[in-house]
Amino acid sequence: MEKLDLIIIGGGAAGLMAGILAKDKGLNFRILEKNERIGMKLGITGKGRCNLTNDIEDLNELVSKYEYNGKFLYHAFSEFGPKETKEFFENRLNIPLKVERGNRVFPESDKALDVVNNFYDELKDYIIFNTEVRSIEKIGDMITKVITNNGEFVANDYILATGGITYPMTGSTGDGYRFAKALGHTVNPQYPVLVGFKIKENFINDLTGLTLKFVNISVIKNERIFKQKFGDALFTHDGISGPIILYLSQFTYDMYNDGFEISIDLKPKISLEELNNRVNELLRSNGKTSIRNILKELLPISLIDPFLNSFNLLSDAKGAEINKETRLKIVNGLKDFRLNVIDSEGYERAVVNKGGVDIKDVDSNTMRSKKVDNLYLVGDILDLFGPTGGFNLQVCWSTSYTAIKALSMRRKGHL
């Protein structure tokens, strides 16, 4: 049995980056991939366009975007940040890039498969497909071999790059958590985050596809605002998603069992008093017009009937028939439109998950396990995540770079 320098378990973003870097270091390695192709999740990221990173130059600003365990990434980002990432993809993988709104970096082709295919072309001689790891054996604090459905593999060092448990149809089914736990690591409970909300109200399906632009949405907890965010949201067939909701879902991961409300301020740039005056003027100047038609000045058409029904208001009531009490209901509703959240869209739609291998078990300067001497952990298997916009792929690139650099130096006797 050949003893390799390195075995990389997982052919996703982190594993592929580790593979290219290991190749460039001249290491004798193999990537074990349980699927029949690599980069299955990478191929659908960014809605199929592959948002590779976020072009933030300042290290402190970059780390601040990771509100959960972000400080762990300081060293990795200082070694290999967005600047180095762009240079890698343009110069090493020959993929021209472009920067779009919000500093999001994409291939010029807008094709995630170009990224996957370039990785494959570089690594096809090093990947063993349809190879599912069944167990990892160790003696003392050293891994001795990996047992798969295609036999046993032995190496000096090992990298776990198996990802998390989101989009399980791509192969991210949490295998790495099981391996890490068996090897003595603490694995924190997992929850889907960066994910849409499922809504209780029956009218939600009628709003499918409606985008709310420049609104403020608050999560209500114990009758108080828990978290809030300004921006855009999108109604789905059974709930609400979009940038605001994905952001808020970072903080609601453990709230779904009891359910909670969200409050949508549909007119966040107008004060309650100003809005009251505007609605009053609309009602007075359109006394013979139905409230449904009057509200076309204030709401998207598809939202008007659900809005009126939520306050038990008749859509054919005329402007002149709306008394002060009813007017205030409308005004308050425009500033505080409530929906009941009953669940998230789950792991099938979540960008990433909270939970995973506790970062206390990993050296942030090397990505080396503190429990197993010849093991490194990279990418989504770690209990940390960032917002949407290329931040989570940056974790994959940076942690893989840090791991390969560290294990290469160690092999040379420098660490």
pLDDT digits (tens, 9 = 90+) for 26-51: 999 999 999 999 999 999 998 899 99
36/292 Cα distance (integer angstroms): 55
Phi, psi of 308 (to 5 degrees): -65, -40
Mean pLDDT for the chain? 96
pLDDT over 90 percentage in the chain = 94
The band of 316, judged by pLDDT with boundaries at 50, 70 and 90, is: confident
Q: DSSP code of 205? A: G
The band of 346, judged by pLDDT with boundaries at 50, 70 and 90, is: very high
94/81 Cα distance (integer angstroms): 18
143/121 Cα distance (integer angstroms): 30
The band of 96, judged by pLDDT with boundaries at 50, 70 and 90, is: very high
Confidence (pTM):
0.93
Judge residue 169's burial from the number of C-beta atoms within 10 Å of its C-beta, 0-12 exposed, 13-18 middle, 19 or more buried. Answer: exposed
**For 411-415, what is the mean pLDDT?**
70
Would you state the pLDDT for residue 246? 97
Domain spans in the chain, listed from the N-terminal domain onward = 3-191+354-411, 197-267+339-344, 281-336
Would you state the pLDDT for residue 198? 98
Would you state the pLDDT for residue 171? 87
The band of 313, judged by pLDDT with boundaries at 50, 70 and 90, is: confident
Would you state the pLDDT for residue 2? 84
**If DSSP codes are grouped into helix, strand and coil, which group holds residue 101?**
helix
Crossing angle, helix 324-335 and helix 272-285, to 10 degrees?
130
Give 3-191+354-411's CATH code, choosing from 3.40.50.720, 3.50.50.60, 1.10.3720.10, 3.30.70.580.
Answer: 3.50.50.60
Q: What is the CATH architecture assignment of 281-336? A: Orthogonal Bundle (1.10)
